Amino acid sequence: MAKYRKLGRTSSQRKALLRNQVTNLLYHGKIVTTEAKAKEIRKIAEHLIAMAVREKDNFEEVTVTAKVPRKDADGKRVKEVVDGKKVTVFDEVEKKIKKDLPSRLHVRRQMLKVLYPIKEVPKEAAGRKRNTKQVDLVAKLFDEIAPKYVDRNGGYTRIVKIGPRKGDAAMEVLIELV
């Protein structure tokens, strides 16, 4: 018996499809797909969530000083002339950052192997590159999704059958985070 479903695709196509579906499931919370795909997605998604739950609190807060460019009222960088050249003026600011411990860093990199990067586009700027934001899905896993499932041992996803698809009668299901 095989360890996984081949889904009628080559290995590279199958890997890309599953990565895309898992990324969308974790970003949106639920997706509609076929039953066979949902069962494969569930394996990967539950593994990622289990890793996030295990390493959720495995970091230390560190205070660092950072140089930040000074900005004027319009949000543009302030420049001053030094030795005939325009130079940006920097201010030193103290910031608190989360520093991952080695095991959490390893888990973060394992997750990044599976998850695709997502760009969030505001509705008023649809179709334009301006104001798009890169979504840190790994941080969302650690900060939002993992705390919900701390006291739960597995079973982070639910598959609900919707019915056969009109075109090819494949069983469609809704897979969602519990």
Q: How far is CA 133 from CA 57, 68, 125, in A?
A: 26, 20, 12
What mean pLDDT value characterizes the chain? 92
What per-residue confidence (pLDDT) applies to 106? Answer: 96
Q: How far is it, in rounded angstroms, from Cα 99 to Cα 67? A: 19
Q: Would you state the pLDDT for residue 125?
A: 67
pLDDT value of position 1: 66
* Second-level CATH architecture of 12-58+102-177: Alpha-Beta Complex (3.90)
Share of the chain above pLDDT 70, in %: 98
Predicted TM-score (pTM) of the model is 0.83
Sign of CA dihedral 24, 26, 30, 33: positive
| pLDDT tens-digit readout, 66-80 | 999 998 888 888 898
* Three-state DSSP state, 22: helix
The residues near 114 (Cβ < 8 Å, ≥ 6 apart) are 19, 22, 23, 44, 48
Q: How far apart are CA 148 and CA 143, in angstroms?
A: 9
pLDDT band at 163 (very low <50, low <70, confident <90, very high): very high
The mean per-residue pLDDT over the stretch 34-61 comes to 95
At 2 the pLDDT is 77
Q: Distance between CA atoms of 63 and 65, rounded to whole angstroms?
A: 7
Domain with CATH 3.90.1030.10 in the chain: 12-58+102-177
Residues above pLDDT 90, as percent of the chain? 76
C-alpha distances out from residue 159 to 42, 64, 98, 140, 151, Å: 9, 45, 35, 22, 21
**pLDDT tops 80 at residue 136:** yes
